[in-house]
Structure 1
Amino acid sequence: MAVSKHTTDKVKDRMDIEEVISDYVPLKKKGQNLWACCPFHGEKTPSFSVSPAKQIYKCFGCGKAGDPIQFIMDIEGIGFQEAIRHLAGKYGIEVEEDETQTPEQEQAQNERESLLIALGFARDFFVKNLQTDEGKSIGLSYFKERGFTPAIIEKFDLGYALEGWDNLLNSAKKAGFQEDVLLKAGLILEKEGDPSRRYDRFRNRVIFTIHNISGKPIAFGARILTKDKNQPKYINSPETPVYHKSDVLYGMFQAKKAIREKDNCYLVEGYTDVISMHLSGIENVVASSGTSLTEGQIKLIKRFTDQVTVLYDGDAAGIKASLRGIDLLLEGGLTVKAVVFPDGEDPDSYSRKVGSQAFQNYLQENAKDFIGFKINLYKDEFQRDPIRKAEVIREVVQSIAKIPDPIIRSVYAKEASGFLDIEEGIVYAEVNKILLKNQRDQFRKIQETPLEAAPIEEFFPVEKEGFSVSEALRLQERELIRLLLNYGLQQLGDEELNLCQYLLSETEELAFENPLYAKILKMFRENLNKGVIVDSDYFLGIQDREIRDEVIDLITPRREASVHWTEKFQILIPREDDDLTLTSYKSILRLKRKFVRRMMEEAIQKIKNAEVEKLSDDQIIELQEIFLGLKQVQMDIDRELGIVIG
């Protein structure tokens, strides 16, 4: 059933965009707005702007924009109804269902939401199994043996899958779930060669629930406890519409708050490593779940911190095999440290061996930056072999070259020269060689689009601009809509009209070329005819996503002048709203100038095609006169705007 309008309105009244977005990315104040690196695409310089005053966000890199509800829909990949439920849960608002929903609408559930509901049922089923006789003797016994407390078991939704082919399948069917939904969620399998026979994916195993960033179950990992050579130790959920392994880190939901507070993320390999560290009082930890680190996982970490400490088992061969992960972290703009445990130990075993406090002390005392860590790893090898030392130097230099920040890159280059006992200039030279090669490789990949030559005006000179006439006109239409949205309600000097009334009256006979801007202008005009002057809030509340996104783009400033220019240096910076009368007047002149230029271009094309169109001499002369008249109008506008054209 759908969430009632009353609940939706309560959520909209209560939600705060800063509170919602700061659950996912750290926000920093700059001017009137808050800024962060965009959570929707990889970037190193923040271009994601959040306006607490307008309750909107806008990324100037990828174009994502919206309000708190849209942010939850985008970041979680869920529908509007599920986003409202998510925010209602965040703010403790009771969800009321809409009783007027038809049976057809109830059946038309979003597939993603259906899968999440099924996965939530499976989570509860596995958790409850720990209280059965089989679950207590096998699953709960195993967890207790590992030292997992009841609080930890509850915190991570640990469970147990009963022995048998269809325990979950039968329970889910009794609860009303369709087999196809369970199949899409990765909870059941089809017998090869006989699709009609279906059975549980997870059987006779302890269950580790994998959550998304908001805490909903999206997948499961299952460990077998018997020594069966025919069975893998771990099996995991397959890729589904709600679970993409390369974008998920185990424990991120439980860790995100601590990661932000500590400004550091510990990265381990397995489920039990994460849980053991929580038992030791360290909550800012996530696991790659035994897979190679991916770009999506790195972006997920970067939402919450720029600092990563990778924890390695005491196995030199295994460490060397996984060093590529450090290079990926560096390339992603993260600062990387590493900790190696004694031989034969991992975070799980070592924390249980030495206790919580000693384990925390060990992490703090043994964390080394990646340069020292990497060099120390190969120290014994290159001390005996000069050729190997040269190879290690190249490997270290290649890692340094992956760091996007030039200042951090230079600091590490200097540090590496000291560790490796090599001239600093040589390290810089090698780093620059790699950077130059990378730039050349990227340049080769860029396909140059040949620029079309501008048409030569054979009869009359029309000044060339950076854009085509149509593009220039579109930009000027956009500028007029921007003024309407930002200043439409403001009075123009001593006049008894506001900016909206003035701009609409001056554009009454102009037909906007861009369909989106024409649509927005029409909505302004329709409301004004009813005696209502609307502003940006009106457009942010409509259902048209295309209009909402464009309005957010137009009302979100890309840059703000620092207050220090005025407060500290007494430098006054002129603003466009200092004199809105002049600003709006010039905007209208520029728009009309673009319309005149388009009409001039149309006249020129008709003159050029006179022979094809079989125009008479009188018709050609008439077109020439029209062009000259338009040219005079343009010159008058140019003079008013102060434009000088040679």
Structure 2
Amino acid sequence: MIKNQTIEEIKSRMDIYEVVSDFVALKKSGSSYKALSPFTNEKTPSFMVSPAKGIFKCFSTGKGGDSISFLMEVDGLSYIEALKYLAQKYAITIEEDEADPNYLAEQSIRESLFITLNFAKDHFIENLWETDEGKSIGLSYFKERGFSEETIKRFDLGYALDQWQGLIDAAKTAGHKDEFLEQTGLKIVKEDKSYDRFRGRVVFPIHNITGKVIAFGARTLKSNEKGPKYINSPETELYTKSKILYGIFQAKNEIRNQENCYLVEGYTDVVSLSQAGITNVVASSGTSLTEDQIKLIQRYTKNVTVLFDGDKAGIKASMRGIDMMLTGGLNVKAVPFPEGEDPDSYSKQLGGEAFKKYLDNNAQDFIAFKTGIFLKDGGDDPIKKAESIREIVQSISLIPDPIQRTVYIQECSRLLHVDEETLISETNKLLLKNSKEKWEAPIPELPPEAFSPDQTETKISRDEIIKVQERESIRMLINYGSELIDGMEDGEMHLADYFMAESEDITFETPIYNKILEIFKENLAKGQISTIQQFLDHEDQAIKQAAVDLSTERYEISTNWSEKFQINVAHESQTLKNSTYTNILRLKFRIIQKMIAENMENIKSASEEEQINKFLSIQGDLKSMEMTIAKTLGNVTVK
């Protein structure tokens, strides 16, 4: 429903670096930027962003595209939702065409759920600020906790009236469907009764990384409440508790800017710390830390500082999540608080500036922190002390960086008064055990057809080789087709024209590459040269994706080679004619090799002398062509 003019303005304003930077910590790499993939768990960066081309490419998953595609992939937004997000980011007024009468009925379920949740958020906010009950109970509670009006509004805090159907009735009046209230978990249905999930509670909306409300947490203020103090939305199509961190939307930019993420347990801890000026803070919402939550943190930083309550039982319960962070390659520090205190209470007790100093002065490396905890527990009991040492060594063995492991072993040897060689030996045993378990994982049984004759495998490999060579040829065309090359008899000409002349006797077998070739031919017939941008903006998603794949390279030569070491390495863009000719020639070579193999099968199956002689003649011609091309390429053939 967004006008094309508005869409074009959004596309002209969006900057792939600015958009991706809101979700991923990018590092400069040549003319591009790189990062750990936000789509998978990896140790080595394979995610690339090219500002010049306005595209991203994830080499781990194969995903790629422009800013709109990135938003759709990273946060599951629809095309329209991604456009609206970008319009808001760049302060572009959205102009929409007149709505179709059936538009609301045709909206996707996902978008309808977002709309319903946003209505609920606004409803709870209105209750907090506009109703007598909300102001006297909810707003008073937040202010007693020391939350300013600015902080309350920043986190969209609200209040659910102490009514069985307060939200249900308001939603019905506003035209929202009961089915979406139920699917978002806002409405509970039991037998023939239905009622609001949240009643008489202060409400904490949970946002995804783009700022959309996906769920709620709510706290009761009644001292005689029989149920739990906190209740949360159930998991839905939009909300998976293990994949989200409370406060990530508000904190993500500061986490990236400060290169550190403070991790706490609850909603009020996040809000209180933000109020105290610690804005790079998120919460696991009372659950054990998960791999997905760790990956979410890794998008923005590798440094995490865990703020523990002054409760030893709680600290020990959190150890597994910390070990998972170490396994993920994160640098983990810990800050303990005095017995009976938590980040919320202690930040209020000290005040903003003093609390910041406390965090800076008391943050210690997690291994040293864990060593101190377990040594206290072990006391003088040699058995308990041995168990504690094993626990600490277990954590060290999870750290992927061998240099870091060595440093930690040396430090633990000093703290524990245990011989360094002993710690190294125990660590190596655990590393060997983990490695063995990984390699001894059961291998799935292969079907009988996997053990088919070699000729099937050879046929598949030849086809794959041709596909790869087709890709290389089309890659040159799509990236440099509009470039002018010299050294031709008729003077300069576009590479696209040269490519067509050299490849006119080739039929590309890969459908998508053939499509791209046909587009070039059609435009050349009109006197136009296709550009890489036209393919990146193409309405056919398959062509657009192919353009991203073909125009993005995972590695590029460092500028240090020429600038620092004076070593000049020629790039293919400096030798366009030769590079294009070589790629096409290699493709012809592979096609001829395939034809030779197929013709050999014809010779073997021929039963008449005339047929055999015919195929032998063809074989001679093909072998001659193969030798000629091989000589030109500098190859040596043995067939």
TM-score by length of 2: 0.95
The answer on 1:489 being equivalent to 2:487 is no
TM-aligned CA deviation for residue 407 of structure 1:
2.1
TM-aligned CA deviation for residue 15 of structure 1:
0.9
TM-aligned CA deviation for residue 89 of structure 1:
0.4
The answer on 1:621 being equivalent to 2:613 is yes
Report the counterpart of residue 219 of structure 2 in structure 1. Answer: 223
TM-aligned CA deviation for residue 172 of structure 1:
0.9
Which of 534, 545, 548 matches 1:549? 545
Report the counterpart of residue 583 of structure 2 in structure 1. Answer: 587
Report the counterpart of residue 633 of structure 1 in structure 2. Answer: 625
Report the counterpart of residue 128 of structure 1 in structure 2. Answer: 126
TM-aligned CA deviation for residue 628 of structure 1:
2.0
TM-aligned CA deviation for residue 446 of structure 1:
6.5
Give me the whole-angstrom Cα distance separating, in 2, the residues matched to 1:543 and 1:377: 59
Give me the whole-angstrom Cα distance separating, in 2, the residues matched to 1:609 and 1:403: 60
| Secondary structure at the counterpart of residue 560 of structure 1 | coil
Give me the whole-angstrom Cα distance separating, in 1, the residues matched to 2:14 and 2:593: 48
8 Å Cα contact 1:210-1:251 kept in structure 2: yes
TM-aligned CA deviation for residue 634 of structure 1:
0.4
Give me the whole-angstrom Cα distance separating, in 2, the residues matched to 1:538 and 1:35: 25
Report the counterpart of residue 634 of structure 2 in structure 1. Answer: 642
Report the counterpart of residue 97 of structure 2 in structure 1. Answer: 98
Report the counterpart of residue 235 of structure 1 in structure 2. Answer: 231
Give me the whole-angstrom Cα distance separating, in 1, the residues matched to 2:493 and 2:271: 66
Report the counterpart of residue 75 of structure 2 in structure 1. Answer: 76
The answer on 1:570 being equivalent to 2:562 is no
| Secondary structure at the counterpart of residue 336 of structure 2 | strand
Give me the whole-angstrom Cα distance separating, in 2, the residues matched to 1:92 and 1:455: 61
1:269-320 deviation digits (Å, cap 9, x = unpaired): 0011111111211111111110110111111111111111111111112211
1:243-291 deviation digits (Å, cap 9, x = unpaired): 1111111111111122112111111100111111112111111111101
Report the counterpart of residue 433 of structure 1 in structure 2. Answer: 429
Give me the whole-angstrom Cα distance separating, in 2, the residues matched to 1:360 and 1:20: 30
8 Å Cα contact 1:79-1:110 kept in structure 2: no
| Secondary structure at the counterpart of residue 335 of structure 2 | strand
8 Å Cα contact 2:263-2:305 kept in structure 1: yes
Of stretches 86-95 and 502-511 in structure 1, the one that deviates more from structure 2 is: 502-511
1:221-620 matched pairs, under 5 angstroms:
221-228=217-224, 230-445=226-441, 447=443, 454-455=454-455, 468-495=461-488, 496-610=492-606, 615-620=607-612
1:85-234 matched pairs, under 5 angstroms:
85-99=84-98, 101-130=99-128, 131-191=130-190, 193-194=191-192, 197-228=193-224, 230-234=226-230
| Secondary structure at the counterpart of residue 500 of structure 1 | helix
Give me the whole-angstrom Cα distance separating, in 2, the residues matched to 1:143 and 1:298: 30
The answer on 1:7 being equivalent to 2:6 is yes
Give me the whole-angstrom Cα distance separating, in 1, the residues matched to 2:178 and 2:611: 75
Report the counterpart of residue 46 of structure 1 in structure 2. Answer: 45
| Secondary structure at the counterpart of residue 329 of structure 2 | coil
8 Å Cα contact 1:262-1:284 kept in structure 2: yes
| Secondary structure at the counterpart of residue 554 of structure 2 | coil
Of stretches 553-562 and 404-413 in structure 1, the one that deviates more from structure 2 is: 404-413
Instruction: Extract unaligned runs of 5+ from structure 2.
Output: none
| Secondary structure at the counterpart of residue 523 of structure 2 | helix
TM-aligned CA deviation for residue 229 of structure 1:
5.2
1:426-460 deviation digits (Å, cap 9, x = unpaired): 2222222222222222212263877766349xxxx
Give me the whole-angstrom Cα distance separating, in 1, the residues matched to 2:543 and 2:422: 55
Question: CA 1:330–1:155 in 2, change beyond 3 Å: closer, same or farther?
Answer: same
Give me the whole-angstrom Cα distance separating, in 2, the residues matched to 1:261 and 1:466: 53
Give me the whole-angstrom Cα distance separating, in 1, the residues matched to 2:518 and 2:436: 49
TM-aligned CA deviation for residue 618 of structure 1:
1.3
Give me the whole-angstrom Cα distance separating, in 2, the residues matched to 1:117 and 1:427: 56
1:123-160 deviation digits (Å, cap 9, x = unpaired): 11001101211111211121122111111111111111
1:34-53 deviation digits (Å, cap 9, x = unpaired): 11111111112111111111
TM-aligned CA deviation for residue 481 of structure 1:
0.6
1:611-637 deviation digits (Å, cap 9, x = unpaired): xxxx32211221122112211110111
TM-score by length of 1: 0.94
| Secondary structure at the counterpart of residue 557 of structure 1 | coil
1:9-24 matched pairs, under 5 angstroms:
9-24=8-23
What is the aligned-residue RMSD (CA, Å)? 1.8
| Secondary structure at the counterpart of residue 157 of structure 1 | coil
Give me the whole-angstrom Cα distance separating, in 1, the residues matched to 2:397 and 2:2: 52
AA paired with 2:160? Answer: A
AA paired with 2:528? Answer: V
Give me the whole-angstrom Cα distance separating, in 2, the residues matched to 1:491 and 1:148: 64
AA paired with 2:634? Answer: G
Question: CA 1:446–1:552 in 2, change beyond 3 Å: closer, same or farther?
Answer: farther
Q: How many residues align?
A: 630
8 Å Cα contact 1:5-1:98 kept in structure 2: no
TM-aligned CA deviation for residue 642 of structure 1:
0.6
TM-aligned CA deviation for residue 524 of structure 1:
1.6
AA paired with 2:628? Answer: D
AA paired with 2:204? Answer: F
TM-aligned CA deviation for residue 387 of structure 1:
2.0
Give me the whole-angstrom Cα distance separating, in 2, the residues matched to 1:313 and 1:160: 27
1:555-577 deviation digits (Å, cap 9, x = unpaired): 11211111111112111112222
8 Å Cα contact 1:398-1:434 kept in structure 2: yes
Give me the whole-angstrom Cα distance separating, in 1, the residues matched to 2:442 and 2:592: 37
Give me the whole-angstrom Cα distance separating, in 2, the residues matched to 1:163 and 1:264: 40
AA paired with 1:481? Answer: I
8 Å Cα contact 2:627-2:637 kept in structure 1: no
Instruction: Extract unaligned runs of 5+ from structure 1.
Output: 457-463
8 Å Cα contact 1:16-1:68 kept in structure 2: yes
Give me the whole-angstrom Cα distance separating, in 2, the residues matched to 1:440 and 1:172: 57
8 Å Cα contact 2:121-2:158 kept in structure 1: yes
AA paired with 1:559? Answer: Y
Give me the whole-angstrom Cα distance separating, in 2, the residues matched to 1:80 and 1:419: 56
